[in-house]
Chain A
Amino acid sequence: QQQVKQSPQSLIVQKGGISIINCAYENTAFDYFPWYQQFPGKGPALLIAIRPDVSEKKEGRFTISFNKSAKQFSLHIMDSQPGDSATYFCAAVYNQGGKLIFGQGTELSVKP
C-alpha cells in the first residue's frame, strides 16, 4: 500500500518529441505528488508537484496529469531536449513533513 509503481524503467525519445512517464499508487491517503529530476552524481531536484484536487498542472514544458479515480499520475515533457536526459522519479507523500515514497525511477535519454 505504501508503494508507488513507476514505468517505464527507461525511455528513449527523439529531440522535440514528447516524453511520458507514468506512476500508480494504492494508498488513497497520499495527498501530494512531486516529480524529481536527478542527473548522474547529483541529488534530486524538485521539478513539479501536484495535489490530488487538481487534474493537471503545467510548468513550462513539464505537465503533470493526475487521475484520482484511477490512482495514476504522469509526467509529460513536451519538446524534449538532450539536456532533459536524466533520471526522473515520481513520489508521494501523505502528510506535511512526512516521508517521500519514491517510484523506481525512469532513465530518460533524449537523442539529438
Chain B
Amino acid sequence: GAVVSQHPSWVICKSGTSVKIECRSLDFQATTMFWYRQFPKQSLMLMATSNEGSKATYEQGVEKDKFLINHASLTLSTLTVTSAHPEDSSFYICSAETGGSYEQYFGPGTRLTVT
C-alpha cells in the first residue's frame, strides 16, 4: 500500500516552454502533498506544500508564479514549471501523506532537463 506515482519519469523541453508534472496517490487519499527538488549530490529541498482544494504554500525563495501547483483532488497534484530555463533542470519529487500521520510516501521522481 501507500504507492505514489509520478508522470512523466523524465522530460526534456526547450527553454521558454512549460512542463507539467503529475503526482498521484494510487491507493490512498492524500490530504497533503509536498513538492521537492533535488540537485545532484544534494538533499531534498521542499518547494511547496499543497492541500486539496486550497492554494499551495510555497517555501521562502520559491517563485510561486514560476512553479504552479494545483491539488485538484485527494489523489492528484500537479506541478507546472512555466517558462522553463536551463537552471530549472533538476529532479522533482513529490510526496503524499494520508492525514493524521507523520509518514510521507514519496514518488519515484521526475528528471527535468531544459535545453
The finding on whether chains A and B are genuine partners in a shared complex, rather than unrelated, reads yes
B49 surroundings in chain A (CB, below 8 A): 99
Is the pair A97, B43 in contact by a Cβ cutoff of 8 Å? no
| A105–B40 alpha-carbon span in the complex (Å) | 12
A42 surroundings in chain B (CB, below 8 A): 108-109
Decide: A96 near B109, CB < 8 A? Known: A44-B44, A44-B93: no
B32 surroundings in chain A (CB, below 8 A): 97
A to B contact number (C-beta, < 8 Å): 58
Say which residue of A41, A100, A104 sits within 8 Å of B104 (CB atoms): A100
Decide: A97 near B108, CB < 8 A? Known: A44-B44, A89-B44, A105-B42: no
B58 lies within 8 A of chain A by Cβ: no
A66 lies within 8 A of chain B by Cβ: no
A45 surroundings in chain B (CB, below 8 A): 106
A60 lies within 8 A of chain B by Cβ: no
Is the pair A93, B102 in contact by a Cβ cutoff of 8 Å? yes
B93 surroundings in chain A (CB, below 8 A): 43-44
Residue interface bits B19-36, CB-to-A below 8 A is 1, else 0: 000000000000110100
B103 surroundings in chain A (CB, below 8 A): 34, 46, 49
Decide: A99 near B46, CB < 8 A? Known: A43-B93, A93-B102: yes
B61 lies within 8 A of chain A by Cβ: no
| A100–B106 alpha-carbon span in the complex (Å) | 12
Is the pair A41, B111 in contact by a Cβ cutoff of 8 Å? yes
List the interface of chain B (C-beta within 8 A of A).
4, 6, 31-32, 34, 41-44, 46, 49, 91, 93, 95, 97, 99-109, 111
Given pairs A103-B43, A104-B43, 19 additional interface contacts (CB within 8 A): A32-B102, A34-B102, A34-B103, A42-B108, A43-B4, A43-B95, A43-B106, A44-B93, A45-B106, A46-B105, A46-B106, A96-B102, A97-B31, A98-B102, A99-B49, A100-B34, A100-B95, A100-B104, A107-B41
